[in-house]
Each structure stands twice: as structure tokens, then as C-alpha cells.
Amino acid sequence: MNIKSAPAQTLAQKLIARACGRTQVSPGEVVNCQVDLAMFHDSSGPRRLKPMLEELGAQIWDKSKVVLVMDHYVPEQDDDSRRIVRIARDWAREQALPHVYDSIGICHVVLPQKGHLRPGMFCVGGDSHSPTGGAFGAYMFGIGSTEMLGVVVTGEIWVRVPRSLRMWWDGHLPPGVTAKDMVLHMVGRFGMNGGDYQAVEFCGPAVQALSMQERMTLSNMSAEMGSQVGLIAPDETTRQWLLGAGVPPQAINMEGLFTDEGVGEDLASTFRFDAATLAPQVAAPHSPANTKAVGEFSQVAVQAAYIGACTGAKLDDLRAAASVLRGQRVAPGLRLMVAPASLQDQEAARAEGVLGALLDAGAELLPTACGACSGYGGSIPDGANVIATTARNFKGRMGSATAQVYLASPYTVAASALRGYITDPREVLA
């Protein structure tokens, strides 16, 4: 008797199949998926959803599956921000939402730290960097307010099953080189539309060796490649991190959550990279795709440095910056701003002496919020060359339309702050 084996499937296919209640799906199919979690913040959520829900006379389908984070317009600095945040807070009370996080950090970092993400989930977020959830083996992507309205009323959303682009990294990263360098290199190679409506999956020994926070940076910036999601197969690193975040062991089911061997080109294309040969990367204004090795920018002076955002101010990022700056002072006249990604990471950095090292070096501590990354707070000087750990450097993105923003890893930003011009951090670390 011949028993026909199940066809090979990508991780993206398996996650979508779970969400739509099927055993398998194929690229190009349009399927309706049940949403396990919907996240939105003060900018994307209540001020847009509240009037639409009231007009429809509709209710939230399941409040236990909704998470609201106040992170974009806090702390409030003007009448407009006070109005936006007041709407969010009032609506959260009216709806008696059980999961509201106010001014404790950036949504993409707070969400997993509070134990809301786990392998196998199907999630949506009201922010373009919601693919961060893919680092935990969850299918998570960003949607607009009209789509979010449909989700919060019905608990469902349709998707077209994507092909996968597998980014396979061999070897191990050398000292001073991070996940931020990996993803900037990939964005530089494939461009901002290279993964257009495809699922990017990061894999290989170098990815498996990354910490969870470094994996989050990869998945987050898959958005800069134009992909819907940025997936990483969950493993023991994932499990241990989630246990530390308070997720019950029985809620962590990773069985089968990987891309099967033997998937064909009709399902996935694989691109290979060598982590051991990767140099620190820098993206020039005004696109993350303008990426070259750090040595190409060695003559560029900088007047400001920003260590912040969900891609550059988590605990691992703060540790990296501190390893460069400990016992030293930033260049005279340069402004170094540090905005930790969450209060949890800020307090851990304080307890370890990491925050103290940054402040002793001359850093200015900013609130744990999106801040200058989303153009809020007025912390980026007009006309300045700025080197930042943020995900994007579009013109005006960080508030000033005349600032020239370069993207880099925390190591590179810290080294550049130390010398006053864009610097290869390996020179300082050596």
C-alpha cells in the first residue's frame, strides 16, 4: 500500500493554513483567516476606529484579543498630541479594554515583552513595522485603519498566500556587526520593493545564533524590503525568551513550524549570504536601500546621533552602544540622544550599568517612546547630519526636512558619536 506524503510547505503556508482552518494552502490563493491578536497604537487606533465603529453601531469582536499601546504621541507636548492621546485613553476606558500599555515603550517591543506573541499565531498590527512578530514564528503584518475596522468587528481578514524569499545566512557575525547590518545589506541588495507581497523568511546558522531581540530587528525591517511578513522559525531560543516573558509552557507549541525540506521554486526562492564576511553597513539619505559598507562613508561628519526606535534601542542595542562608549566621551559639540525602546529595557540597562555608561559618555536620555523615529519630539536638529539606529531615513521622517539621516547599527552610531564622523565600530572595539 502506497501512502502519499504531504507536499512540502513553507513556514508562511503553514501559518496561513492554520489560520484559515485548512491543512495546506498554495501561493496565489485568497483565503479568509481568523485573527488571534490585533494591535494598534495611539496614532493608528482609537482616533480612527472610534468614529467608524460608532457610525456602524458595531462592537469589538473579542476585547481579549485587542492590544492598545500608547507610544507615538507620548509624552504629550502640544495640544494636538494631548487630544490624540486623550481620545485613546478615554476610548480604552469606555471599552474596558483589558490590554492597554500607556507610555511604557514602543508597541513592537512591548507586545512580546508582555507575553502576547507566541509561535503559530496569526496577528495584525496598525503599524507598518508589525512584521516584528514574525521573529516569534507568528504570521504578523501591518494593515490600515479600514482593514483594522473589519478585523475588530469580525475577527477575520483575507490574505493572498505569498511565495517565500528565504534569506539564508551561513557562518557567524564578527564582533561589531549585528542584525541591523544584515538587514540593511539585504535592503540594499533587493531594494524596498524586493519582497513585494512575498513572505521573507530569515534562516541559516547565523540567524539561529541571534538573540531574540536581534531577530526582532530582522523581522521588523522586512517591511523595508516591501514584504508582508518577516518570519523566523521558532526554536529553543524562542521558547526560553517567551518563558522569561511569562508565557505558560503549554502555550508554546512550535511543532512543525518550519519550512519543509524540498520546497520547490514555485513556493520559495533561496538567497545565500556569508555572515562572517559582512562589514558594518550604513544607509545614506533618503532611503534604507542606499546602503553600502561603512568604509564608503568615512569622511562624513555628523552633528547628532540617535540611539532609539524598535530597531535600535532594545537592551541588546543599548549594550552594544555602551561597549563602544564606556569610559569615553562623545565628540565635542555632538548631540547623542538615547531613547530606550521600553521601560523594561531601560531599567535592565540601568541595573547592568549600561545606561550609566551611556550617560557618562554624554548621552541625553529621552522618553521610552517612538519619539524622533516617527518625527515627534523635535529632537533632530535642522540641517544636521544625523546617524541613527532607526528603521527609515526618508526625507522629513524624523521631523526635520533638512536633516540628512544615515542609518546604522548601535555599534556604528556609538562609534560615530565618539569621533564626530561616520566610523567603523571595529576600529574602536579593537
Residues 213, 317 within the same domain: no
292-319 in b/e form (b: 16+ CB < 10 A) is eebeebeebebbbbbbbbbbbbbbbbbb
Handedness of CA 356, 361, 366, 371 (dihedral sign): negative
Beta carbons within 10 angstroms of residue 97's beta carbon: 16
Whether 255 is covered by a domain: the verdict is no
Residues 207, 318 within the same domain: no
Residues 22, 143 within the same domain: yes
Residues 100, 184 within the same domain: yes
d(CA 98, CA 307): 32
How many domains does one find in the chain?
Answer: 2
Q: At what angle do helices 212-220 and 179-190 cross, to 10 degrees?
A: 20
pLDDT tens digits for the chain (430 residues)?
Answer: 455 568 999 999 999 999 999 999 999 999 999 999 999 999 989 999 999 999 999 999 999 999 999 999 999 989 999 999 999 999 999 999 999 999 999 999 999 999 999 999 999 999 999 999 999 999 999 999 999 999 999 999 999 999 999 999 999 999 999 999 999 999 999 998 865 679 999 999 999 999 999 999 999 999 999 999 999 999 999 999 999 999 999 999 999 999 999 999 889 999 999 999 999 999 999 999 999 999 999 989 999 999 999 999 999 999 999 999 999 999 999 999 999 999 999 999 999 999 999 999 999 999 998 888 887 766 788 889 999 999 998 777 888 888 899 999 999 999 999 999 999 999 999 8
Residue where one domain finishes, among candidates 241, 273, 305: 273
DSSP string of 56-89, one letter each residue: HT---S-GGGEEEEE-SS-S--SHHHHHHHHHHH
Whether 306 is covered by a domain: the verdict is yes
Residues 224, 190 within the same domain: yes
Domain that holds residue 323: 281-429
Which CATH number is 333's domain given?
Answer: 3.30.499.10
Beta carbons within 10 angstroms of residue 219's beta carbon: 29
Residues 87, 219 within the same domain: yes
Whether 327 is covered by a domain: the verdict is yes
Residues 77, 213 within the same domain: yes
pTM reported for the whole predicted model: 0.96
Residues 139, 209 within the same domain: yes
Show the DSSP H helices in 305-342 as ranges. Answer: 315-325
**Is the Cβ–Cβ distance between 62 and 31 less than 8 Å?**
no
- Position of cell 529595557? 345
Residues 325, 227 within the same domain: no
d(CA 211, CA 216): 9
